Amino acid sequence: ATTKAFLPTMLEINHGHIVTVASSLGLFSTAGVEDYCASKFGVVGFHESLSHELKAAEKDGIKTTLVCPYLVDTGMFRGCRIRKEIEPFLPPLKPDYCVKQAMKAILTDQPMICTPRLMYIVTFMKSILPFEAVVCMYRFLGADKCMYPFIAQRKQATNNNEAKNGI
């Protein structure tokens, strides 16, 4: 809706910057959060299509930036856990850090920012390796079942609320 509101004027004056905030889970997925991944894949697809449309229309004054952070420490996916040996190297990101990285990308007209940079490697590996090799990589990182603790916590909280409310 926001793009729909501002894009006509941007096209008219050939100036502006469209920033799309997605997630690393819009570039690759994991088990247990299919609905979230699907929505983020949709956001990435929208952004890519719009970017191609602007290039085809030769609207080089309108910049685009796709923002794809890894797990951000907002509490949304509290309980999400990757392999404990990997966690120190890939902790949840602080929101302020994500904002700073996004702003750097926007101000330098970077078309895409993945935070941390390791997410570029995962995305690249996913696109060149066979599916079973990607599954092995996910298992090694503990990314294959990383959402299971989060899902279990949500289920427990739901059950507790239902018990409290007599449902």
Residue 114: closest CA among 65, 69, 64: 69
Widest pairwise Cα distance in the chain: 61
- Which tokens sit at 4? 């729909």
Give me the catalytic one of 36, 97, 120, 148: 36
Asked if 36 is an active-site residue, the reply is yes
List CB contacts of 28: < 8 A, sequence separation 6 or more: 122, 123, 126, 134
Residue 98 vs residues 18, 60, 102, 141: alpha-carbon distances, Å? 17, 27, 6, 22
- Which tokens sit at 140? 């090694």
Task: Indicate which residues carry an active-site annotation.
Answer: 36
